[in-house]
Structure 1
Amino acid sequence: MSTGRIGVAQGTAIYVGAILGAGLLALPALAAEVAGPASVLAWGLLLLLCVPVAATFAALGSRYPDGGGIATFVYKAFGRRASAVVGYWFYFAWPVGGPATAYVGGLYIADALGGGTTTAVIASALLLAAAFATNVFGLQVSARIQLILVGLLAVMLLVACVAALRSADSENLTPFAPHGYPAIGQAASLLFFSFAGWEAVTHLSGEFRNPQRDLRRVTALTLVSIGVLYVGLALTCVLVLGPRLADTTVPLAELLKLSFGDAASAVTATLAAVLTFGALNSYLAGTSRLGAALARDGALPVWLAKGGAPGEVPRRSLAVIALSATAVTIVAGLLGADLGQIILATSACLLAVTVAGLAAGFKLLPNGRPMWWGAIFAALAMAVVLLFSGFFLALPVGLALAATLYTATSGSKRRAAAEPAAGTATEPAAAAGAAGDGPADWPEPVPAVGTGTEQAD
């Protein structure tokens, strides 16, 4: 991928590929379990909220076209410690969301093989192991192949929806909100797992032929594409599967079975497995580099920075992610956490990242302009959706405290190490750096603390 040579078509494919993920294979059923047929409103609500979100990130990306993404926006708006908090939210969300993503793919594989939970767990473990192995050896799945797979999945979704609509029944819309209308907010919080990724194109903004023009077009085309796919799939699932939707773990496979028989399940499972592996591989590559970058900038232990330079493999960061993911999976299994709870925890972190990026837009975009008002509205709206995360807000809150405490402690250690002997002429300089975010606290970084979405060609 040559610098400055990305056009609208390729940019749209990359953006859609960043948003469409394995989560959409399971989320229609999980959202229906929470809100019933009214979950369709949650899909539509999030799509509308994504308009100002996507527009804000496109505007920021065109103004600051570098690889830092939201963490860079937050750094420019609020300083290093706030940027470290955002980095923590994304870096430590992967050990929670990664296994959940793998398990979704495992469910489809188990469905195709006629297996149960054990088969799904084994399949998800193999998908995770393959993703880690690929990254440990420095190999990457071609972005072009991943985009082709996403395109095939999009076609399959459209075919499934169109073919299954002949079995639609309007009676499946009643009762419309069996758990009350407030449940729509909780469903929206859950569904954000499939709407995360709007910040992804900001990492590539410097490679567009004309960022000022192309980012707007890419954003508009992406909104239309995911709107058709997401809302179409959600509405079709509700109309066709009805009460069965909340009880199935593979809604797309159920739709295909209605039209193409049992053979459709194997096809869906294969594509789901490849899509899941592609998502795990690319996001793991970016998240591991993020960990190394955070360590380089003083937000994580310095030994974790090894392998973070271009062309190197951040194996220590990968090891931390692997151990964290294993620990989270074990704890989730012991506590009996279900897939919806795990996704809610991940969504809480991703929502927090999005709110932080929108708040940065409020600070950085020109005051009083439509885009500025859009950033304010989107930040407030997403903050409300974030509140529906309920108990799972404890995860981003805990990570924010951890990032703040670690950066404060590391800053104190840096100042202590740099303090001269009493009575030397450099005391004023040391005192000047003790405020908190100044040069004595932090090394001047390369503005590349990413959000885990960088992909290799």
Structure 2
Amino acid sequence: MNDTASQPRDVPTARAAAPRATAPGTVATGRHTTGRYTTAQATALYVGAVLGTGVITLPAMAAETAGPASLVSWAALVALSVPLAAAFAALGARYPDAGGVSSYARIAFGDRLASVVGWCFFLAVPPGAAAAAFFGGSYVAEAFGGGSTTATLTAAALMLAVTCANAVGLRTTGRLQLALAALLVTLLVAAVVLSLPHARMANLQPFAPHGWAAIGPAATLLVWSFAGWEAITHLAAELRRPARDLPRATGAAVAVVGLLYLSVAFAVIAVLGSAAAETDAPLGELMAVGVGGDARKLAAVAALLLTLGTMNAYYAAAAKLGAALGRDGSAPAWLARGSGVGEVPRRGLAVVSGLALVSLATVTAADVEVRPLVLMTTASFVTVYAIGVAAALRLLPRGSGGRAAAGAALLAVVALLLMSGAYLLWPLAVSGAALLYLRLRRARTMVG
């Protein structure tokens, strides 16, 4: 596979589509046919990006925060996913580019906000990957023993496996994701179906033991589970026919993810009751109830598949984004190699993988709790969502379904921003670093 940075003529780059030169909604990319992903592979990538470590950990965390009322938080975020995913699908279909939301922000608002979006997404992936990998490792430790040592070593192994899979090439990534998505969906369905006969409606009472106000904090925590609707935009140019395939993949992914999340969340509370808030491995407990015996080992396999699928999709998307940022001048040019369609962004992948391993080492050495890492990461993704839907409102044609979806999503995203509270300091710091880099780069250019 050619590793030389290039950009096909039929894929608009963010640099070619400058804000003043391109009127919103004038770029049509429906004839783009140079990508390799099929609709099924794109759906699998989408499912893997969204349906991941959240389903193996956050039902318990949300139940601890809001009790059975956390089901309202789950339902609200599933509802939010529909317009949010539709808006990003419309953008990706019209502007298939490795820069994703960063490119849309550049077209709509200019280089500064594009850099902010790119940096927020790119630097959210390494700490998020560390937390996700540790979630998967915790299931292995629960099933086989070894405590934090087993969890940490498993997490590091997951990171290295995903790095190797992506280094082979994006085509391999798509096939791997398709297989992982099929396996993880099968395991989740089995866990829910086998455990639901043991559900008790009495476990839903009291419905809001911590008050109705707890639904907000639970929803903020659950954003982690729904982060990913923007991830596929970075790979849109890799689809064979983005204008046709991306909306189809998005609709299928929203349906699959929404149904599975609501089913698992309900089963965890209705079957486990108050014990749901006391376990670190709710899926393992569900499978133990439904299957009997030592089902925690099977749950550990499911957790590893879910974690691997999520990390696989995010490593691929972040590596492509890093290359696009280097190409467009928002990051060092050294990262630019691999931004073209079909190319492997190995330098971007190396940065993502290295920072993720550093994050894992830092968490292990400092004994940092997982919850703050989750909230820091979700604050970054909500920031990306806010700018992304604002760009959709500017770029998509008036009267189109995508633009209407963006308008509906914007109000909900603003509410999530407000609920993020102090954790917004992380994306604010990253935004400041991005703007400082641009300023220093321009200063060096003027001196040169």
TM-score (norm. length: structure 1): 0.82
Code of the residue aligned with 2:117 in structure 1: it is V
Question: In percent, how many aligned pairs have the same letter?
Answer: 44
> Hey, what's the Cα distance between the residues in 2 that align with 1:148 and 1:95?
24
Aligned to 1:359: 390
> Hey, what's the Cα distance between the residues in 2 that align with 1:323 and 1:370?
40
Match of 1:105 among 136, 139, 162: 136
**Counterpart contact for 2:40–2:178, Cα < 8 Å:** no
> Hey, what's the Cα distance between the residues in 2 that align with 1:135 and 1:279?
13
**Counterpart contact for 1:146–1:278, Cα < 8 Å:** yes
Partner-residue secondary structure (3-state), 1:366: coil
Match of 1:17 among 45, 48, 52: 48
**Counterpart contact for 1:51–1:223, Cα < 8 Å:** yes
Match of 1:395 among 411, 414, 426: 426
Match of 2:191 among 160, 163, 178: 160
Aligned to 2:408: 377
Please state how far the C-alpha of 1:288 moved relative to its aligned partner. Answer: 3.2
- CA-based RMSD of the aligned residues comes to 2.7
Distance 1:285 1:50, change over 3 A: closer
Code of the residue aligned with 1:295 in structure 2: it is G
5+ residue gaps, structure 2, are 1-32
Please state how far the C-alpha of 1:397 moved relative to its aligned partner. Answer: 0.7
> Hey, what's the Cα distance between the residues in 2 that align with 1:278 and 1:370?
30
Matched, 1:90 2:144: no
> Hey, what's the Cα distance between the residues in 2 that align with 1:284 and 1:371?
27
Distance 1:140 1:110, change over 3 A: farther
Aligned to 1:433: none
Distance 1:355 1:314, change over 3 A: same
Report 1:71-86 matches (<5 A). Answer: 71-86=102-117
Partner-residue secondary structure (3-state), 1:388: helix
Please state how far the C-alpha of 1:409 moved relative to its aligned partner. Answer: 1.7
Q: Deviations over 1:355-391 (max 9, x none)?
A: 1110101111223555434312211211211221211
> Hey, what's the Cα distance between the residues in 2 that align with 1:135 and 1:219?
22
Distance 1:150 1:216, change over 3 A: closer
**Counterpart contact for 2:98–2:321, Cα < 8 Å:** no
Aligned to 1:422: none
Partner-residue secondary structure (3-state), 2:436: helix
Report 1:32-431 matches (<5 A). Answer: 32-132=63-163, 142-206=173-237, 211-305=242-336, 311=343, 314-315=346-347, 317-333=348-364, 336-367=367-398, 369=400, 371-417=402-448
Aligned to 2:30: none
Distance 1:312 1:372, change over 3 A: closer
Please state how far the C-alpha of 1:146 moved relative to its aligned partner. Answer: 2.5
Distance 1:377 1:313, change over 3 A: closer
**Counterpart contact for 1:140–1:282, Cα < 8 Å:** no
Please state how far the C-alpha of 1:399 moved relative to its aligned partner. Answer: 0.7
Please state how far the C-alpha of 1:87 moved relative to its aligned partner. Answer: 0.8
Distance 1:208 1:325, change over 3 A: closer
Distance 1:314 1:62, change over 3 A: closer
Partner-residue secondary structure (3-state), 2:280: coil
**Counterpart contact for 2:84–2:406, Cα < 8 Å:** yes
Partner-residue secondary structure (3-state), 1:389: helix
Larger radius of gyration: 1
Q: Deviations over 1:205-242 (max 9, x none)?
A: 45656544544443333222112100010011010111
Distance 1:334 1:358, change over 3 A: same
Please state how far the C-alpha of 1:56 moved relative to its aligned partner. Answer: 1.0
Pairs aligned (count): 415
Please state how far the C-alpha of 1:105 moved relative to its aligned partner. Answer: 0.9
Code of the residue aligned with 2:249 in structure 1: it is V
Please state how far the C-alpha of 1:35 moved relative to its aligned partner. Answer: 1.6
> Hey, what's the Cα distance between the residues in 2 that align with 1:138 and 1:368?
39
> Hey, what's the Cα distance between the residues in 2 that align with 1:365 and 1:194?
27
> Hey, what's the Cα distance between the residues in 1 that align with 2:214 and 2:365?
27
Distance 1:299 1:249, change over 3 A: same
Please state how far the C-alpha of 1:45 moved relative to its aligned partner. Answer: 0.2
TM-score (norm. length: structure 2): 0.84
Please state how far the C-alpha of 1:106 moved relative to its aligned partner. Answer: 0.2
Please state how far the C-alpha of 1:320 moved relative to its aligned partner. Answer: 4.1
Moved more, 171-180 or 81-90: 171-180
Partner-residue secondary structure (3-state), 1:92: helix
5+ residue gaps, structure 1, are 418-457
**Counterpart contact for 1:134–1:140, Cα < 8 Å:** no
**Counterpart contact for 1:146–1:275, Cα < 8 Å:** no
**Counterpart contact for 1:305–1:314, Cα < 8 Å:** no
